[in-house]
Amino acid sequence: MVSSTRITAADLARFEEHGFVIIRGLLDPARDFAPVEAEYDVVLDELVNHWIDQGHLDQPHAGLRFAERLLQTVPRARQPYDLALDISLPQADIRCDTPMHHGPAVFDLLRTPVLLDAVEQFIGPEIYSNPVQHTRIKLPESLLPTEAWSGLTSRIDWHQDQGVITGDADGCEILTVWFPITEAHVDNSCLAVVPGSHKRNLVTHCQSTNPLTRGQVAIPDNLVEPHQLPLPMDPGDVLFMHRCTQHAGLPNRSDRIRWSFDLRYQPIGQPTGREWFPGFVARSRAHPETVLDDAGAWDASWHDARSRLAAGDDVRFNRWKGDSPYCA
């Protein structure tokens, strides 16, 4: 099978030089996002009904589209919604009933052929879906109740993706793939990057002392490089980013949500930096029989991981102990 992709030699050269490249209109929102949005309508409906049953909300605000319904229900319910909509597990306090979502539409999104065709140009045809993956659905900060504030729902401090995984994966070619479901502009929390920062490798990360990003692992202010560049993007645009590129998620100061997916892909056989979470073979030219094409099996693998982690001690998901002088 021959890969067809819109990634050009110039795009790859730009990635090597700057540590990122945006391919405009790579995905088709109607084809690639509509099934995901329909799936999330169902998830939100279940969440809203739960809030009503628990007495946190007095009406379902039914009939609204996903984004508007979230804007109408979360500020009134004052309940967290991040984990119920996320496609991973948290890094601490995992219970046997910790909410998560691993539906078939999301599974298909991770395996979208045009997306994998593009990934193949960066890391080759043996593609593993790394389990460091999230969906971030950010309400305007003016409407976001403190009970729902998290790294999945609010601003993200400056960091490198290699800095939020374990050190066994330092030599791995982990590629970040980020794309918005809604528009992501400067006013509603697009990403910002430091072009070329991937050439300086990994810098120290500390536990954030910013009350707005408490609990996040972040680069201390005096180690964040200058020349920070916002990256406004529209639905269908895809950002490919080097694992050492310094980047952040800007605050949402608009009146609308910002919904995005951040995924990771790497060559098959390399450590993932998150060994307790399940990845899968997304594409293999050499051994196509190893490719996972069963959404139910993917969902089951996350349930198995949750059960294992809930039954044992919390594991350490990152390398930073906070003992660097930069963290003082």
Q: Does 67 map to a domain?
A: no
* Secondary structure letter of residue 77 according to DSSP: H
Q: Please compute, for residue 291, the number of CA atoms within 13 A of its CA located in the half-sphere on the CB side.
A: 18
HSE-CB at 6 with a 13 A cutoff on CA atoms is 14
CA distance 124 to 65: 39
**pLDDT(1) > 60:** no
Can you tell me the mean pLDDT for 67-74? 98
At 4, is the pLDDT very low, low, confident or very high (cuts 50, 70, 90)?
low
Q: Are 245 and 194 in contact (CB under 8 A)?
A: yes
Say which CATH number the domain at 297 has: 2.60.120.620
Residue 69 · residue 48 · CB < 8 Å:
yes
Helices (H), 124-275: none
Q: Is the pLDDT of residue 167 over 80?
A: yes
pLDDT(227) > 50: yes
pLDDT band (50, 70, 90) for residue 328: confident
Q: Classify residue 154: in a domain, yes or no.
A: yes
Range of the domain at 272: 18-29+87-312
Tell me the pLDDT of the chain averaged across its residues: 95
User: For 180-225, how does the pLDDT look when each residue is reduced to its tens digit (9 = 90+)?
Assistant: 999 999 999 999 999 999 998 899 999 887 777 777 899 998 899 9
Whether 313 has a pLDDT exceeding 80, the answer reads no
For residue 70, is it within any domain? no
- 230-246: average pLDDT: 98
Q: Looking at the domain assignment, is residue 74 inside a domain?
A: no
> Does residue 2 form part of some domain?
no
Lowest average pLDDT, out of 47-61, 282-296, 302-316, goes to 302-316
Instruction: Extract the tokens encoding 151.
Output: 């790294």
- Domain presence at residue 254: yes
In whole angstroms, give the CA distance from residue 287 to residue 56: 50
pLDDT at 3 over 60: no
Task: Say which residue, 318 or 242, is predicted with more confidence.
Answer: 242
Q: How many CB atoms within 10 Å of residue 6? A: 14
Tokens of 256: 């609308």
**Alpha-carbon distances of 274 from 99, 114, 154, 225, rounded to whole Å:** 19, 26, 23, 27
- The count of domains in the chain is 1
**Residue 63 falls inside a structural domain:** no
Mean per-residue pLDDT for 86-94? Answer: 94
The pLDDT, as a whole number, for residue 110 is 98
Q: How many residues does the chain have?
A: 328
Any domain includes 66: no
User: Rounded to whole angstroms, how far apart are CA atoms 225 and 59?
Assistant: 47
- Of 322 and 237, more confident: 237
For the entire predicted model, the pTM comes to: 0.96
Give, to the nearest 10 degrees, the angle between helix 34-53 and helix 66-77.
Answer: 20
